[in-house]
Chains A and B, each alone.
Chain A
Amino acid sequence: MNLLPRRGSLRRQEAAAGWLMTVPAIALLLVFLVAPIAMAAWVSLSNWTGIGSPFASGVSSVGMRNYAALLTEPGLAQQQLGESLRNNLYYVILVVPLQTVLSLGLALAVSRKRLAGRGFFRTAYYFPSITSSVAISIMFLFVFGNAGVVNAVIGYLGAHGPDWFDNPSGVLHLVYSGLGVTQPPAALADHGLLGMPWWEWLAGPSVAMIAIITLAVWTTSGTFMLIFLPAIYAIPAELEEAAIVDGANAWQRLRRVILPMLRPTLFLVLTLGLIGTWQVFDQIYLMSQGNPAGTTLTPAYLSYVESFGNQQWGQGAAISFILFAIIVIFTILQRLMLRDRGAT
């Protein structure tokens, strides 16, 4: 007779207890994460009209038709998706590097031990990040208004400021016309992607979008500065001292010592930046609603108006899944680019 339970059954009991402990967490994940995503995926494949449950008997699958209307069939839906992707792409291309460089610069500046009033500067730079985005958006509407501060400064310098939020011209188009190219070459005008000619893809962010980009960089740099700061403090002082002894100048120390040490943090900041910028919504909702002429439309905002405004819930959900795919692809690309050489 052996009174002790056998080893295997003890393991089994432990495993059962373990599962029991994790049930609340799993349930929460199921209800608030997995189920909504699954529901949205179903909606993107269905003809749900927004009335009652999407799983009710009257709702049926339409296969990939919602995705086809957005990706392959010429029409307004496809054109607006193209526009929104172009606008958002320029937004990402400008905001992510600018906010990363700016926040790193701010972090390096306020981490210097000899700087007087470090606490004050840290708080000042972080302030925009903790202020309500609604308040900041409204403030920028005034700052970039026709008679706002920005145009007053431009006027003081002798130039005439643009109607920022009413100007749909792409800044690259303005550059081309400055170089004497006002009519698109036939190759760029007659061919395109997603219902939009290449010439329009090459328009660059509109003047209105530049104002929103400025806002985004100004707002988020403080947050990322806060992420860089502890990482900079964690770099052992001996490393930098050794570099100084070896005769490295300030630029070489930054390039060869500090930046390599910050690689994991840089990865985090770039990833968060990429995801956040592809999902830009609240500034668009508050400031421009996609105007002027659709040049500040973004996929996240388009998904919202297509669903809640136009009651095309399937297409709205499909846009969000297309956006999801784009974010995943960009994050993987960035991971490949920042991967430690030598490591797998």
Chain B
Amino acid sequence: MKGRRLTTVMLSAGVLALAAACSSNGGFSSPSSSSTAGAKPNKTPLTLMFGSSGPAETSAVQAAAAAFTKQSGIKVKVIPASNLTQQVAQGFAGNHPPDVFYLDSLTFQNYAKDGVLDPYAPTMPNATGFSPVLKETFSYQGKFICAPKDVSTDALYVNTQDWQQAGLGAPPANWSQLRADAQKLTTHGRTGLVLDNSESGIDMFLYQNGGSVQDRAGNVVLDSQQNVQALAFVKSMLASHIMKFPPQLNAGFSGQAFGENKAAMVITGPWENGTLQSDYPHIKFKVYPLPAGPTGIHATLSFTNCWGVPKDSKNLGGALAFVKYLTAPQQEMKFSTAFGVIPSRAAAQATYMRAYPQYAAFVRELSYAHPDIAIAGATQAISAYSSALAQLGSSDPASILKTAQRNLQAVVNSSK
């Protein structure tokens, strides 16, 4: 009896001691939203954490960090993360987030809402030079927070050999031409058009039909008539077997279906270029802007990361100097050459279009691109919407949109 009580006492003492130890270093508790751009760099080494698409990206980032160290004398530890979102979250929970990290547009919303990011973006040299859609993506409550790293847009990839064989002329300019061309390109063993079976593979059709995901006030407007019509169009293409999703073709993603010539056209982004060149070099293709909707509206989706910097970085000045270095037009162009990303700055984009005229469509589309959906706390609601869209072929467009509307608006309401 006595022994048991002693154990209890010791247990609670231990827990209390641990609690005290944890609470004494709660460094992130004081919120402040003012920019700390005046911070002077010191010699504390920086950490850079990023999710790499492959060896080309890893070595390009390492080279950039080494060049920055040479110039500034600040050491940089480069950490390629195997699961970036999780590892950055662990860093924040342990009060030691990386000083600079890739931050996707959805996770950005969460950290911006928590107020842990340094809102340094307006202090970057020529901050107005970033594409407007990217500034919109990385703004929270009207404030531009972090500098966009690069940008991708969805465009139409066309297999030129299939195209010529089918005797087709100009690329499709609107939905009805897209349908007609997909019809003509579909043969036994090859599908006319392939899209990724997710929200980011399909949502551009909503915008092309005059619909939207959120209105200006941030409310969700998914269940509009335009959106129902847009999804009905996609569904009708699926039903007539001139369009398919990658799993139906035993492909992991649309680029693979395109590379194996199971698809004559795919709607996807520049991240496929590397795979197409290295794994499927015999495939000849052209990239065109997406066809317009029935009323002539042009639209696509844009995907991007920014350089996240925590406001409590031990070397904030150094971190900002590093980001300044990384987003300089010449450095952005180096990344483009190394692993195919499109620069986030208009000046570098112009250079990119001259260097890669075959990929000019991605940049041209930026003027009418809409950011991929990103709402704080909506990761689960978005992935539920995304997996519902993957079953579009066998479900009702209106009820998919109604469910997603309800779930996403609930998230928006809860953070008001």
Q: Does A associate with B in a complex?
A: yes
A163 touches B247 (CB 8 A): yes
Partner of A311, one of B247, B250, B377: B377
A290 touches B11 (CB 8 A): no
B85 touches A292 (CB 8 A): no
Give the nearest-CB partner of A141 in chain B. Answer: B252
Q: How far in angstroms is the closest Cβ of chain A from B314?
A: 15
Partner of B92, one of A52, A76, A309: A52
Q: Encode contact with A along B79-111: 1 for CB under 8 Å, 0 otherwise.
A: 000000110010011010000000000010010
Q: Which residues of A contact B250 (CB under 8 A)?
A: 145-147
Partner-contacting stretch, out of B26-34, B135-143, B168-176, B287-295: B26-34
Q: Chain A: interface secondary structure?
A: loop
B11 touches A311 (CB 8 A): no
Does B114 belong to the interface (CB within 8 Å)?
A: yes
Partner-contacting stretch, out of B47-55, B296-304, B379-387: B379-387
Question: How many angstroms from the CA of A333 to the CA of B396 in the assembled complex?
Answer: 42
Q: Which residues of A contact B383 (CB under 8 A)?
A: 290, 305
Does B10 belong to the interface (CB within 8 Å)?
A: yes
Q: Encode contact with B along A251-294: 1 for CB under 8 Å, 0 otherwise.
A: 00000000000000000000000000000000000000011111
B19 touches A55 (CB 8 A): yes
Number of interface residues of B (CB under 8 A): 45
Does B1 belong to the interface (CB within 8 Å)?
A: no
Q: Which residues of B contact A34 (CB under 8 A)?
A: 11, 14-15
Question: How many angstroms from the CA of A308 to the CA of B110 in the assembled complex?
Answer: 11
Q: How far in angstroms is the closest Cβ of chain B from A340?
A: 29
A57 touches B247 (CB 8 A): no
A166 touches B390 (CB 8 A): yes
Given contacts A163-B247, A168-B391, contact A54 B22 (CB under 8 A): yes
A76 touches B11 (CB 8 A): no
Does A334 belong to the interface (CB within 8 Å)?
A: no
Q: Which residues of A contact B95 (CB under 8 A)?
A: 52-53
Q: Encode contact with B along A150-190: 1 for CB under 8 Å, 0 otherwise.
A: 00000000000001011010000000000000000000000
Give the nearest-CB partner of A310 in chain B. Answer: B379
For A39, A166, A292, A311, the residue with the greatest tally of chain B CB atoms inside 10 Å of its CB is: A311
Q: Encode contact with B along A72-101: 1 for CB under 8 Å, 0 otherwise.
A: 000111001000000000000000000000
Does A30 belong to the interface (CB within 8 Å)?
A: yes
Give the nearest-CB partner of B26 in chain A. Answer: A56
Q: Which residues of B contact A51 (CB under 8 A)?
A: 28, 92-93, 114, 116
Q: How far in angstroms is the closest Cβ of chain B from A307?
A: 8
Question: How many angstroms from the CA of A137 to the CA of B190 in the assembled complex?
Answer: 29
Q: How far in angstroms is the closest Cβ of chain B from A12?
A: 11
Query: A146-B247, A291-B387, A310-B110 provided; 8 other pairs, C-beta below 8 A?
Result: A19-B6, A51-B92, A53-B22, A75-B407, A76-B407, A76-B410, A166-B247, A309-B85
Chain B interface residues toward A at CB < 8 A: 6-7, 10-11, 14-15, 18-19, 22-23, 25-29, 31, 85-86, 89, 92-93, 95, 107, 110, 114, 116, 245, 247-250, 377-381, 383-384, 387-388, 390-391, 407, 410-411
Chain A interface residues toward B at CB < 8 A: 19, 26-27, 30-31, 34-35, 38-39, 49-58, 75-77, 80, 145-147, 163, 165-166, 168, 290-294, 305-312
